[in-house]
A and B are shown apart, each in its own frame.
Chain A
Amino acid sequence: MAKNQEGMTLIVKTITRLTVGLILLFGIYIVTHGHISPGGGFAGGAIIALSFIHIMLAFGKEVTFKKMNQSVMSFFESVGAIMFITFAILGIGSGYFFLNFMLKGKPFKLFSSGLIPLYNLAICLKVGAGLFIIFVILVLLKTPKKGGEK
């Protein structure tokens, strides 16, 4: 992929600049309204990962890695996993594992249904960062010549 040093053509770069913010906003909307309308953590996390992959495909590897490199993404994934486990273990204090102990407000509001929006946020961080890391690893590998392996 020697042609990929500067990314794609000018048309693709302009359209990416215009639309990638909207894709990110749409993903955040699906995550935060996960308990009211269809969506949830998995769909929103995958859409956020796709917006980062879009930036990386359009602008090339070097420009993207100045802002988002691998250590930042693995930090987000670990934060998501630790948040999930912490909220689960805190339920042991007053009941069983994974108890939904925060108060449940009125239905159809954004701040209702206890711990479920926080679980959605943790799953979104974990899934988004994990899928982006898988894509980065699969793209970055350079195939060495066959004489070098033996």
Chain B
Amino acid sequence: MLELQLLLIFMIIGAIIAVKEKDLLSSVIAVGTVGLGLSLVFLILKAPDLAIVQLVVEILVIIILIRATIRRDLPFSTSGRWFFNTLVTFVFIGVFLVFIYLYIKDLPQFGQPIMKIAQRFIAEGLRETGATNLVSSVILDYRAYDTLGEATILFTAVMGVLAVMRKVGRKK
């Protein structure tokens, strides 16, 4: 899986550039390249449904972020205790990575998942639902309640954006 690791290293470099860049527009574009690399990784991991959705959604995220950052400047100032804060953050992330390494050793080997529930979906999916796309049959027949919750979240987000962006305030 050499191409998988190369793409992941490319995504990490893109993320570091997005974090360190001072210009806001450049860092938004760098996040865009991380999303495109993720769509390619989804294709390598045999998930074409997810690659389509990730590509389209990531274009929308870039459009929304550029709309939020256009013509706004970036005031950068380092007030006191900068060195101490950075040192504590790096120590915290180092401890976090050590615990992650101890956890990863207990996961099953990459490439041999356990798949207890999915055995039933794969064996009976075509006969019980009649759909050849197993991911569609999972999200719209076996677990359709989650799709109802997700439609509700989209509806709430539309109402929330409309409520935040109203022109008149509540009281003067």
**A: which residues have CB within 8 A of B?**
30, 34-40, 42-43, 46-47, 49-50, 53, 77, 81, 84-85, 88, 97-98, 100, 104-105, 107-108, 112-116, 119-120, 123, 126-127, 130-131, 133-135, 137-139, 141
Contacts and interface: CB of A to CB of B under 8 A. Distances in A.
Contacts, number: 117
Interface stretch (B105-113, B115-123, B149-157): B149-157
B19 interface: no
B145 interface: yes
B16 interface: no
Interface residues of B, number: 37
Contact of B48 (A38, A50, A98, A113): A38
A114 B140 CA distance: 11
B149 to A, nearest CB: 12
Contact of B137 (A113, A126, A131): A113
A98 B56 contact: no
B52 to A, nearest CB: 4
B86 interface: no
Contacts of A50: 56, 59-60
